[in-house]
Amino acid sequence: MAKPIVCINPTCTITFGSTVVDISDHLRMVAPSTEVEIIDNRTFASPKQREFGNQTDDITLTLGWSPDLYTALAPYINTAGALVCKPRGAVSTAIRATVRYGAQPWGEIAHGTTSEVELPLIVDGDITYS
């Protein structure tokens, strides 16, 4: 098995229909997460039995805010889009998911700093790497 990778110049796009929204220049971090419920169905006959239940996939994007970002995201609130995130920008394999966001992201605004925002994404289906 190859060793863990160090991310270099990660890129991220979300494609809505034929429109590609490239947020790479705003990208600080992409945080995919998957939670699987553990169901306790122990019985006297099987006192240690547990099963996996529902799976919930989320992705949170941390972005540097700009008016351009606001404009780019505005038309696609609650619209399904194809997210493609390449941990190493020069490589073709990517983390992929069908995602939606529910609102414009907002963050703190302070003199001399970047306004950093978090954009939580609902994942429809699974997060894959291909």
Partner 1 sequence: MAALALEAVMQAIADRLMEAQVVTHAFGYPTTGVDDGEATVGYPPDYTYGLPTGRALDAVVIPAWIIAGLAEEESTREVVADLLGDGPRSLKVALEGDLDGLVNALILRRTLIERVRFKDNLERTSVRADCEVWS
> What is the contact surface with partner 1 in residues (CB under 8 A)?
2-9, 88, 90
* Token pair listed for 39: 């169901």
The 3-state secondary structure of 36-84, one letter per residue: EEEEECCCCCCCCCEEEEEEEEEEEEEEECCHHHHHHHHHHCCCCEEEE
Q: Cβ closer to partner 1: 14 or 95? A: 95
Q: Tell me the closest approach of the beta carbon of residue 6 to partner 1, in angstroms.
A: 4
- The DSSP code for 88 is B
Q: Tell me the closest approach of the beta carbon of residue 90 to partner 1, in angstroms.
A: 7
Q: Cβ closer to partner 1: 9 or 56? A: 9
Q: Cβ closer to partner 1: 4 or 112? A: 4
| Cα separation values, 67 from 47, 63, 72, 87, Å | 57, 12, 9, 26
Q: Tell me the closest approach of the beta carbon of residue 5 to partner 1, in angstroms.
A: 7
Q: Tell me the closest approach of the beta carbon of residue 91 to partner 1, in angstroms.
A: 10
Q: How far is the C-alpha of 126 from the C-alpha of 99, rounded, in Å? A: 10
Q: Cβ closer to partner 1: 6 or 109? A: 6
